[in-house]
């Protein structure tokens, strides 16, 4: 694995799929005159890539944009159909998924590795990089260890490099059920305060039994912020009021 800081990214054409049609994208279209964060991984639908690497970049994408990043690109040596299906499965609307089907870009980066022991063939090593106007400013390359190390190419490490003082969104989840007016109020409050949230819907994502086991309650909504159980919509309103007073 080669650190290429100070060098230009490889010049290649990516064969991608968009809305069911083929679309060729040149590397200049992505990098020229722009600030781009690219992270590369061994394969779509694989555990670490799906559970952590891609979701966290997608979650922090608005913060990256606030700090001067024009686009976040996820690259893998997979074909266009696989990457298109993975994007849909992951609901990663804030990240551009690019298939490096022939491994040309990855080989040009010196990151093409043999994963034949896993039946993968030749794939990308896991890394991330900050690219300004086609020139690599910073690379975070995973250590050369057996398996699939994931220690430095994560979104938080890259954001820390770009701006150590960047404000990250608090993780927010709420348990709701369809047609609940109090749930609608809680969601409106979160939107008013600019707090993205994950919604867990009873009957679809969880059951009443799960609600009782997690919260000790049988009513919805139940809101969690940064690991803290806030409660329902009234408790959430009081929580925001307290934070607003402290901010003032």
CATH number at residue 126: 3.40.30.10
Residues assigned a catalytic role: 49
Per-residue pLDDT of 179-206, as tens digits, reads 999 999 999 999 999 888 989 999 998 9
**What is the structure's pLDDT at 102?**
95
**Could you list the residue range(s) of the whole structural domain that residue 66 is in?**
13-162
Within a domain: 75? yes
**Taking the CA of residue 96 as centre, how many other CA atoms within 13 Å lie in the half-sphere pointing to its CB?**
19
CA nearest neighbour of 1 among 117, 114, 125, 131: 125
Q: Are residues 143 and 112 in the same domain?
A: yes
Number of domains in the chain: 2
Within a domain: 6? no
Task: Give yes or no for a contact between 114 and 14, defined as CB atoms under 8 angstroms apart.
Answer: no
pLDDT(96) > 60 = yes
Q: Are residues 157 and 93 in the same domain?
A: yes
CA nearest neighbour of 154 among 140, 165, 144, 166: 140
Domain C-terminal end among 97, 129, 162? 162
For the segment 31-54, the average pLDDT, to the nearest whole number, is 94
**What is the structure's pLDDT at 246?**
61
For the segment 50-59, the average pLDDT, to the nearest whole number, is 92
Q: Are residues 141 and 180 in the same domain?
A: no
**What is the structure's pLDDT at 20?**
84
Q: Are residues 206 and 102 in the same domain?
A: no
Token pair for residue 5?
A: 């800081």
Residue of 147 and 24 predicted with greater confidence: 24
């Amino acid at each position: 694995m080669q650190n290429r800081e100070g060098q230009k990214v490889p010049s290649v054409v990516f064969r991608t799929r968009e809305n069911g049609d083929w679309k060729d994208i040149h590397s200049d279209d992505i990098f020229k005159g722009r600030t781009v964060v690219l992270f590369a991984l061994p394969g779509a639908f694989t555990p670490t890539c799906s559970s952590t690497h891609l979701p966290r970049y997608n979650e922090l994408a608005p913060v990256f944009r606030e700090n001067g990043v024009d686009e976040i690109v996820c690259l893998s040596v997979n074909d266009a159909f696989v990457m298109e299906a993975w994007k849909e499965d992951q609901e990663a609307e804030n990240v551009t998924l690019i298939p490096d089907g022939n491994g040309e870009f990855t080989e040009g980066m010196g990151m093409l590795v043999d994963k034949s022991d896993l039946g993968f063939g030749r794939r990308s090593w896991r890394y991330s990089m900050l690219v300004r106007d086609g020139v690599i400013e910073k690379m975070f390359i995973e250590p050369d260890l057996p398996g699939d190390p994931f220690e430095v190419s994560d979104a938080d490490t890259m954001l820390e490099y770009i701006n150590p003082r960047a404000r990250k969104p608090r993780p927010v989840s709420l348990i709701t059920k369809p047609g609940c007016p109090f749930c609608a109020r809680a969601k409106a409050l979160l939107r008013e305060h600019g707090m993205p949230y994950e919604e867990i819907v009873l009957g679809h994502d969880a059951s009443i039994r799960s609600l009782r086991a997690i919260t000790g309650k049988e009513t919805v909504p139940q809101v969690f912020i940064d690991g803290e159980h806030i409660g329902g919509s009234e408790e959430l309103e009081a929580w925001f009021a307290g934070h607003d007073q402290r901010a003032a």
